[in-house]
């Protein structure tokens, strides 16, 4: 009972072997016996057989590609595209600061609640001035007193100058008398007593001149002292005014309050003494987009380059590159890149995840379907191409951009025949028989 299935299996196997393995011989055998041999007609003459067996001109390419692997290919020409650098990053506030107190005091103002928008210079916390106003009034009084002494000190200078002139005139008169007495004494008409008296008069006049000049210098020093007292009083007034101004803590720039301001009655201390902040302010307009680019791509990014971002909730924003770090992160070996964008409506908050796209210098690229990509034995991504000798050749590529129509790749010649179907069944040097697909790029 088992003989019949075995014979059937053998016959099927023999038929499959003939059809698959010996297909060419089977077709030749069929041409030899049909149809003249089956109808009993005489075999054709050798000339007729040769004429009928001669291949037509259209069949010549098929003979040339015998043994080649049939593939689908595309003649691709490179086109110039605007290259882009894609980053993953997040939004950051342009500025964020904790506003601290610069003096000690208790808060006497009602608090502002977080989320409120404040303008630059707006009061956030007002402290009890205490005796600061009294100190300011005292400093202003001292300044007024110092300024009132200026006319008196300046009036002493002309008086001192007059005394100097008077003493110099007396000295000149004493010199004249002394000279006259000396000449008369030489002629015997004046006594030695008179000569000595005139000489003493000269010495006294010289002393008077020195005293007058010292008085003049003292008067001038009094003016300078008065001016110094004025400057000291002005400095005291400035200190008192500054200390009083510190009791009103103001917003350094326009922005949003990230926290409530200090509560009424809270004790504020200067920042250097570990005091709590008055408030935390964020500036969100403009807003920064921060990403980190690998060292292989940082050379393609320039300050001022147009950039855009797509946020996680679907919003989009455009701006320009304002900063590219010159120092890589020691752990990740990436470089910080900042993009500044307008956020007039404050719709974008700090800390949102964003997909950042930065425009780079244009470069030639080929538009290919993703299915054309393959890997070589080393794991490189690329495409298989058709050479002039009709053989397959692997070329590595760099993926530049992914679009709905396909992907743009670089690293290929300007004109190249890319295998789209069948690239997985050939290796470098294998003959191929390409059929070409024409497309519009």
Q: Tell me the CATH number at 353.
A: 2.40.30.170
Domain limit, last residue, from 359, 392, 408: 359
Q: DSSP class of residue 412?
A: S
* Number of compact structural domains in the chain: 4
Q: Is residue 257 part of a domain?
A: no
Q: Is residue 274 part of a domain?
A: no
Cβ neighbour number for residue 123 with a 10 Å cutoff: 13
- How confident is the model at residue 25, as a pLDDT? 66
Residues 198 and 220 in one domain: yes
pLDDT tens digits for range 118-157: 999 999 999 999 899 999 999 999 999 988 888 888 888 8
Whole-number Å distance between alpha carbons of 151 and 226: 10
Torsion of CA 256, 259, 265, 267, to 10 degrees: -110
- How confident is the model at residue 172, as a pLDDT? 85
- How confident is the model at residue 38, as a pLDDT? 38
Domain limit, last residue, from 294, 328, 359: 359
- Those residues whose C-beta lies under 8 Å from the C-beta of residue 33, and which sit 6 or more positions away, are none
Range of the domain at 206: 132-245
Low-confidence spans in the chain with pLDDT less than 70: 1-3, 15-66, 189-190, 271-275, 438-441
- How confident is the model at residue 254, as a pLDDT? 92
Domain limit, last residue, from 359, 389, 412: 359
Q: Is residue 299 part of a domain?
A: yes
Q: DSSP class of residue 361?
A: -
Residues 218 and 321 in one domain: no
- How confident is the model at residue 260, as a pLDDT? 92
- How confident is the model at residue 440, as a pLDDT? 41
- How confident is the model at residue 34, as a pLDDT? 52
Phi-psi region of 433 (alpha: psi -120 to 50; beta: other; left: phi over 0): beta
Contact between 243 and 236 (Cβ < 8 Å):
no
């Amino acid at each position: 009972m088992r003989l019949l299935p075995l014979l059937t299996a053998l016959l099927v196997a023999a038929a499959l072997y003939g059809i698959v393995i010996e297909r060419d011989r089977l077709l030749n055998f069929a041409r030899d016996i049909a149809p003249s041999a089956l109808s009993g007609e005489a075999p054709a003459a050798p000339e007729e057989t040769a004429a009928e067996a001669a291949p037509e001109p259209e069949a010549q390419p098929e003979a040339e590609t015998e043994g080649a692997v049939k593939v689908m290919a595309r003649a691709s020409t490179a086109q110039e595209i605007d290259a882009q650098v894609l980053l993953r990053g997040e939004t950051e506030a342009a500025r964020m600061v904790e506003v601290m107190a610069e003096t000690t005091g208790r808060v006497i103002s009602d608090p502002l609640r977080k989320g409120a928008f404040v303008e630059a210079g707006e009061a956030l916390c007002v402290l009890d001035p205490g005796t600061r106003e009294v100190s300011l009034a005292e400093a202003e009084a001292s300044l007024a007193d110092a300024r009132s002494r200026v006319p008196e000190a300046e009036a002493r200078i002309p008086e001192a100058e007059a005394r100097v002139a008077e003493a110099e005139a007396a000295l000149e008169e004493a010199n004249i008398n002394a000279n006259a007495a000396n000449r008369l004494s030489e002629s015997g008409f004046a006594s030695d007593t008179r000569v000595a008296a005139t000489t003493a008069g000269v010495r006294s006049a010289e002393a008077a001149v020195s005293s007058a000049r010292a008085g003049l210098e003292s008067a001038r020093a009094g003016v300078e002292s008065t001016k110094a007292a004025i400057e000291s009083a002005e400095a005291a007034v400035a200190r008192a005014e500054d200390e009083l101004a510190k009791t009103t803590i103001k917003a350094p720039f326009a922005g949003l309050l990230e926290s409530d301001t200090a509560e009424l009655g809270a004790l504020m201390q200067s920042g250097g003494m570990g005091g709590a902040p008055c408030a935390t302010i964020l500036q969100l307009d403009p807003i920064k987009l921060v990403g980190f680019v690998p060292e292989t791509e940082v050379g393609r990014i320039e300050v001022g380059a147009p950039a855009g971002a797509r946020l996680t909730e679907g919003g989009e924003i455009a701006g320009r590159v304002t900063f590219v770090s010159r120092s890589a992160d020691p752990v990740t070996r990436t470089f910080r890149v900042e993009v500044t964008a307008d956020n007039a409506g404050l719709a974008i908050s700090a800390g949102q995840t964003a997909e950042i796209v930065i425009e780079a210098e244009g470069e030639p690229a080929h538009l290919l379907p993703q299915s054309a990509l393959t890997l070589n034995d080393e794991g490189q991504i690329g495409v298989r191409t058709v050479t002039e000798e009709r053989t397959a050749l692997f070329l590595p590529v760099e993926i530049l951009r992914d679009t709905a129509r396909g992907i743009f790749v670089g690293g290929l010649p300007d004109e190249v025949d890319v295998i789209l179907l069948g690239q997985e069944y050939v290796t470098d040097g294998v003959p191929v028989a390409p059929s070409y697909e024409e497309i519009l790029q």
